[in-house]
Structure 1
Amino acid sequence: MSDALKESIGRYGVWSVGLRSEDPARRDELTESAAELEQLGYGAIWLGGNSSVGNAVPLVEATSRIVVGTSIQSIWQHGAADTAAGIAALEATHPGRFALGLGVSHAKRAEQYRRPYSALVAHLDALDAAGLAADRRLLAALGPKSLELARDRSAGSIPYLVTPEHTARAREILGRAPLLAPELAVVLETDPARARALAREFLAPYLALPNYTNNFLRDGFTEDDLADGGSDRLVDAVFAWGGESRVRERIDAYFAAGADHVALQVVDGNARETLPREAWQRLAALLV
């Protein structure tokens, strides 16, 4: 599936928590936005947070080409058998339109969080037993061991909050064939102080999660870089901010490092449930 998935999602996607909403009152807004993203030329929509195949269904039904993926579905909150059945049902009516992104979430967000790597292996075993092939799933892998698991037992990796340097190391571990589709947060703000302030506000919750801070430390950042909302060095490495040319250069750096696809998340200081449709339009224009 890796080659087929690479072709179907193209080079650019949108990562959004807001498009995951289960509020029936927002269904029209979400489906209209999904159709607009498809029109704008994006190849994939990545549903942020603890998303599921059920969140993807209305967006898939409202579009004709764009792939909808979970980024991520927590292994602690969704059973393998139900997941496989949901994907089979969606595949029967809309083949090739869904990508299952899996992850272990975080100890602070999952009460049953124990031995996450072993739990992930067991979940993959259960998906195998339920009939979901390895090439029908992706892993949100950060560390070397998880990246090796993504290489050996999935179609690739969808890492979150990473740098081009991490992307290069991930590509080396994955090898050529598996999909590598990092998320990249984008701040369309040219004033450095304002851009970094928006980035730090967004980054703050993640700096309380060891999965991310440990990954930053592995990547050569220091405890000082993680303090006070993140150093300029950390912010500038993890975010694409500035004018259109600067943002485009930052996006291209991930491709130069080995990414097949980049999932762009707009950071604008608004509630994450607010859909940044104008910003998606601006990004689409600079990506042409």
Structure 2
Amino acid sequence: MTDTGDTIVKFSLPPIGVWTGALDTVPASRARELAAELESLGYGALWIPEVAGRDPFVHLSFLLSATERLIGATGIANIWARDAVATSCATKALTEAFPERVLIGLGVSHQNLVGGLRGHDYAKPLTAMREYLDGIEGAPYTAQRPATPARYVLAALRPKMLGLAGERTQGAHPYFVTPEHTARARETLGTGPLLCPEQAVVLETDPEKARVIGRVYTRTYLAQPNYVNNIRTLGFTEEDLAPEGGSDAFVDALVAWGDVDTVVARVKEHLDAGADHVAVQALPAEKRALPDAQWRELAAPLAALRR
């Protein structure tokens, strides 16, 4: 998808990136240093979220300015946070400044973050996304135009949103998923669109310690109906999806923990299942801590993976 609706060539996205919200927890100067380090370690993309922290477009602008090749992606920019014209203009401005280094993931987010936090009507998220994409395609832009296309993917889990992602954007960025979901998503999307799942990981070989860390992550997303409804389609039981973070089997399925080889093997499962790119989210042992030691330890083994 471009903002004019033209068909564009598939984005050349390296197979491995980092997904992290941790850069919000450090000063901007330190975030820039870490982005540069991630690039030097060989990661191809850096995905950042949006809830109520730094504006992701502003954040990407100073992270990309500290790097030379790293692709900056949003995972995701909330469509309720700004109108379609604002998103189109911000995406084009970033793309003009950093050609072929910007990928904007858009998502409908969740009821509590849309109706509760922002006061919008969350009644028809699929319709809202379709109309939002219409708005992007029709948005004016009076500044210097980018020489390369503005590129988008959608946060998509289930067939209808995956279908919209494949039809109207570069592809899909599924979050909180398993390699089995990646295989299903690839079947739904077909061979053309990008498929960029997120995979949570913990470099910890002690099962109890690893699952304690993993449950902080799974507990957060089991509170969101969108994720729970998708996970149910993958064969998990109600017992597996207990609100306190789920069963051991569930945690193990959503969080790849263990030694480096075990973690890398799970990432490879996504690539083998049809992913073009995997956004690896290293989970820290403590809230608001940086998982930078895990980034460093995983860098070379992950860089050896190929699609």
Q: TM-score normalized by structure 2?
A: 0.87
Give 2:286's aligned residue: 270
Contact 1:75 1:123 (8 Å CA) reproduced: yes
Instruction: State the distance in 2 between where 1:232 and 1:271 align.
Output: 21
Give 1:121's aligned residue: 130
- Stretch deviating more after TM superposition (125-134 or 242-251): 125-134
Contact 1:68 1:99 (8 Å CA) reproduced: yes
Instruction: State the distance in 2 between where 1:286 and 1:261 align.
Output: 15
- Stretch deviating more after TM superposition (80-89 or 160-169): 80-89
The percentage of counterpart residues that share the same residue type is: 46
Give 1:19's aligned residue: 23
1:94 corresponds to which of 90, 93, 98: 98
Cα root mean square deviation, aligned: 1.9
1:173 corresponds to which of 188, 198, 203: 188
Instruction: State the distance in 1 between where 2:89 and 2:256 align.
Output: 38
Q: Which one-letter code corresponds to 1:120 in the other structure?
A: M
1:98-109 to 2 correspondences below 5 Å: 98-109=102-113
Contact 2:92 2:150 (8 Å CA) reproduced: no
Instruction: State the distance in 1 between where 2:24 and 2:171 align.
Output: 22
Instruction: State the distance in 1 between where 2:137 and 2:9 align.
Output: 21
Contact 2:74 2:106 (8 Å CA) reproduced: yes
Instruction: State the distance in 1 between where 2:204 and 2:96 align.
Output: 43
Runs of 4+ in 1 over 4 A off after TM superposition: 1-4, 131-135
Structure 1: runs of 5+ lacking an equivalent: none
1:36-55 to 2 correspondences below 5 Å: 36-50=37-51, 52-55=56-59
Q: Which one-letter code corresponds to 1:165 in the other structure?
A: E
Give 1:211's aligned residue: 226
Instruction: State the distance in 1 between where 2:44 and 2:220 align.
Output: 29
Give the length in aligned residue pairs: 282
Instruction: State the distance in 2 between where 1:254 and 1:178 align.
Output: 15
Q: Which one-letter code corresponds to 1:253 in the other structure?
A: E
Question: 1:170–1:131: structure 2 CA closer, same or farther, 3 Å change rule?
Answer: farther
2:78 corresponds to which of 58, 74, 77: 74
Q: Which one-letter code corresponds to 2:48 in the other structure?
A: L
The Cα of 1:285 is off from its aligned counterpart by: 2.4
Instruction: State the distance in 1 between where 2:149 and 2:28 align.
Output: 31
Give 2:4's aligned residue: none
The answer to whether 1:197 aligns with 2:201 is: no
Question: 1:115–1:134: structure 2 CA closer, same or farther, 3 Å change rule?
Answer: farther
1:213-232 to 2 correspondences below 5 Å: 213-227=228-242, 228-232=244-248
Give 1:162's aligned residue: 177
Question: 1:3–1:249: structure 2 CA closer, same or farther, 3 Å change rule?
Answer: farther
Q: Which one-letter code corresponds to 1:52 in the other structure?
A: P
Q: Which one-letter code corresponds to 1:139 in the other structure?
A: L
The Cα of 1:183 is off from its aligned counterpart by: 0.4
The Cα of 1:19 is off from its aligned counterpart by: 2.3
1:166-195 superposed Cα distances (whole Å, 9 cap, x missing partner)? 000000000111110100000100011111
Q: Which one-letter code corresponds to 2:96 in the other structure?
A: A
**Higher-helix-fraction structure:** 1
Contact 1:147 1:173 (8 Å CA) reproduced: yes
Give 1:239's aligned residue: 255
Contact 1:182 1:263 (8 Å CA) reproduced: yes
